[in-house]
Amino acid sequence: MSDLLFEKRGSVAWLTINRPQAKNTLNPSLFVGLAEAWVEVRDDPAIR
């Protein structure tokens, strides 16, 4: 299972940090995943 869950619900993007074993702390791979998700959000005109 991924540490970052990304889904689109209508015009909303949902980003969920899924690291309960680490109390949802950020790590380098999570920062990369967040950056990639923000690029997708930025480039998708359907997301507000």
- Please report whether residue 38 resides in a domain: yes
Residue 33 φ then ψ, to 5°: -60, -40
Domain hosting residue 22, numbered range: 4-43
Structure tokens at 25: 């702390």
Can you give the pLDDT at residue 7? 96
- Please report whether residue 15 resides in a domain: yes
User: The whole model's pTM is what?
Assistant: 0.84
Q: Specify the residue for token string 């940090």.
A: 17
Average pLDDT, stretch 25-35?
A: 96
- Please report whether residue 48 resides in a domain: no
Total domains in the fold of the chain:
1
- Write the DSSP symbol of residue 11: T
Average pLDDT, stretch 18-23?
A: 96
**pLDDT tier at 1 (50, 70, 90 boundaries)?**
confident
Residue 39 host element (H or E): helix 28-43
